[in-house]
Each structure stands twice: as structure tokens, then as C-alpha cells.
Structure 1
Amino acid sequence: MKIYTKKGDKGQTQLIGKRVSKTHARVESYGTVDELNSFIGVAIAELDQEDMISDLEIIQHELFDIGGDLANVTEKKEWALKEASITRLEHKIDAYWAEAPELKTFILPGGEKAAAHLHVCRTVARRAERLTVAIDDGSELPPFALAYLNRLSDYFFAAARAVNARKNREDILYKRGKDVFK
């Protein structure tokens, strides 16, 4: 089998059930989910935290599921992503959040190299969420995709802070004249 098909040479691609422009909102959305998946691979390459590596590998599989769900515009759908994935993320967020010091202000993305990569993942997850919200093509959206992407950005923030805390690396606080959070 060849890797190239030449079917996209004129700016079109195939969703599940319909041929569309490569600029279609669904293609933008699942393309950004794919981009996020690649950035997660970079974060994994920098991590030495086995629990987070395991989490991130599960997340990578779930992102493939979301991509397939977003590409499906047929009438009959069986969604791959389930609500249990959101619940699992929430438990992980709570656990990682408890590892880092309390926040009273914003922090700058960074710290350990792995934490910095997780912050990049956070911002790409936010963009994927925004692009998914923007889909308005009359076809049903995957029921758990938006909540999952929203929770996922929180997961990356909590995980990045946990990485820094585990390495005894303080977060860099945003300098402002007063507390942001009270």
C-alpha cells in the first residue's frame, strides 16, 4: 500500500460520509486534535514520570477516538469517546493539582522542559476546543468531545505543575501589583 493516494490534491478530503474542503471546520478541528497528539508525543519524550507517561498514552488513544468521532457526519454513529474518559481525567487532575503549591496568581508557562511541553499541550487543547465549538455544519457533534477537550487543558495545567513540584522547581509567578485569585 502506498502512503499517498492523490485524492487530496485538489484541496478536498473525505470525512466519514461526505467529501469536503480541507478547510472545513471539522477538518480544522480534528487536524488540531492530531497536532495536539503530536505535541503529547514530544512531552512524553521529555518525561521521566511513569504515571504521567501512562496517562498521556491513554490520552493519545482517546484523541484518535475524538478525531474519528469528529470526522463522522453520517446519520448512524457509534461514538468512540465515552463519558468515563472525562471522569478519569478529573481524578487525575485532582491528584496532580494536590501535588503542587496553592496558586494566588497566574504562572508563566515553563519550568522543567517536560512541564513546558505540557503547557504547549494545554494551549493546543484549548485551540482544539475552540475549533470544535465552531463546527456548525448541521451534523451532530460527538457528545463528550467538548467536555473532554475542556478537561484536557486542565489536565495539562495540573500535570505541568506536578512535574515542576516533583522536581522541586518553583512555578514562575506572574508579577502583578495584587493577587489575581482570592
Structure 2
Amino acid sequence: MPIYTKGGDKGSTSLYDGQRVSKNSLRVDVYGTFDELNANVSLADKFCQIPRNVELLQWVEYHMFFLQGEIATRHATTFQQNSRMITVEDVQFLEHAIDEYTASLPKVDSFILPGSSTAGAQLHVCRTVCRRAERLLVAFMQDNFVRPEIEQYVNRLSDFFYIIARSEDHEQQLQKIEDQVIKRYRQAVKERS
């Protein structure tokens, strides 16, 4: 069975509930940008060195399907009948992770470069794509109802990517220090021999 349907050959696409809209509609732009974000999150989790970060990012990837599906449906109740929706508990989950990581990382009092590790850099890409998706969502909300939980979740998500990026960068810095200590130790042992 081919993956193409030819249904979009004339510039329209189907929403989750089967309604057709123009591919350049703001609704499609919003959920398409979240789809772009999710692909970037998937790439980020492959670069992460901290197993917990991989787990958290995969949790986000899974939840992005709920977010995209709801935006891709004109009436949230139609989506709710067939799928799970983003909840206050999901927002709180992100807040808890952000608070936990913030407490465990060194304090930052200035702007930082976007990622000193590969994972950190990719997570900053996620953060910036998330901010763009959020801007589109806010524009979309001017004429369309979006549940407050979605707006809150998206707002927390960019902060979440920022703090996970910092944790990956910090882990890489610690690894570099450890590698330097081991290298100097081995050099000292060699010189004594």
C-alpha cells in the first residue's frame, strides 16, 4: 500500500477529524512546527549522555503526539474521544523536572552560548523551535480556542529544553575535567617510571 494518497495534490490536507484545510493555514503551520520540534527532540535524545535525559525527552516525544493531534482537530472534544490530551499533571511534570535540574546545576547569572556539547546544542535547537511554535500557537489562539493546559505546557517546554541542555553541557564539562585529571595522573606515573 503506498504512503501517498494524492489528497494533498491541490494544496489541502486533512485534519484529525477528517475536515480539509489549506496546507498554508495557520492551524497546519502550528501543528507542523510542533512536528518539526518533535523530530529535533528525537535527534537530541540520540546525542544525550545522561540516561535520565533520554527518558525525559522520549516522554516529551510521546506527549507531542497528543499536542499535535489536538491542534489538528477543530473541536478538542472530538480528539478527546479517541486519544489522551495534555493535562495539568503533564505541565506539573515538566515543572518538577525543571525545578529538580535547576537545583542541581551551578547557578547561571548571564546569558550562555547555546550548547557546549552536541546534545546541548541540539537541545537549544529544540528550545528555539519550541519558541517559534509557541509564537505561532499564540497567533492561532487569537481566532481559535486552545485549552489553557496546552498553552502552559508549551510555555514550560522551552524552559525544559533549556535546563536539559544545561545538564548535558555540565556533564560534558565534568567528563573533560575527569579526562584531564586521568591524563595528568598517567603522565605523572610515566615520568616516575
Q: Please classify the TM superposition score into its range, dividing by the shorter chain length.
A: 0.7 to 0.9
Structure 1 residue 9 corresponds to structure 2 residue 9? yes
Normalized per residue, the structure richer in helix is 2
Match of 1:65 in 2: 66
Contact 1:115 1:161 in 2 (8 A): yes
Q: Which residue of 1 aligns with 2:101?
A: 96
Cα–Cα, structure 1 residues 131 and 75, in superposed 2: closer, same or farther, change >3 Å? Answer: closer
Aligned position for 1:163: 168
Deviations 1:90-122 (A, max 9, x none): 011111112322121111102011011001000
Distance across 2 between alignment mates of 1:163 and 1:73: 38
Which residue identity is paired with 2:140? I
Contact 1:89–1:155 (Cα < 8 Å) also in 2: yes
CA distance in 2, matches of 1:36, 1:68: 14
Q: What is the distance in 2 between the residues matched to 1:91 and 1:46?
A: 23
Whether 1:132 and 2:142 are equivalent positions in the alignment is no
The SS at the match of 2:173 is coil
Q: Is the 8 A contact 1:99 1:165 kept in 2?
A: no
After superposition, what is the alpha-carbon deviation per residue over 1:45-77, rounded to whole angstroms, capped at 9, x for unaligned? 111211011101110011110000001103734
Q: Percent identity?
A: 41
Equivalent position amino acid for 1:68 in 2:
G
Match of 2:152 in 1: 147
1:61 is aligned with what amino acid? Answer: Y
Query: In 1, distance between residues paired with 2:76 and 2:96?
Result: 34
Taking structure 1 as the reference length, the TM-score comes to: 0.87
Structure 1 residues 13 and 137, CA, compared in 2 at 3 Å: closer, same or farther?
farther
Cα drift, residue 145 of structure 1:
1.4
CA distance in 1, matches of 2:51, 2:118: 16
- Give me the whole-angstrom Cα distance separating, in 1, the residues matched to 2:108 and 2:119: 20
Backbone CA RMSD of aligned residues: 1.7
Cα–Cα, structure 1 residues 138 and 166, in superposed 2: closer, same or farther, change >3 Å? same
Q: SS at 1:13's partner residue?
A: strand
Check the 8 A contact 1:97/1:161 in 2, yes or no. no
Equivalent residue number for residue 52 of structure 1: 53
Deviation at 1:138, TM superposition (A): 4.3
One-letter amino acid of the counterpart of residue 13, structure 2 = T
Structure 1 residues 82 and 9 mapped into 2: Cα distance closer, same or farther (>3 Å)?
same
Summarize deviations over 1:151-177 as a string: whole Å, max 9, x none: 0000011111111112226xxxxxxxx
Deviation at 1:140, TM superposition (A): 2.2
Which structure has more relative contact order (CA 8 Å, sep 6+)? It is 1
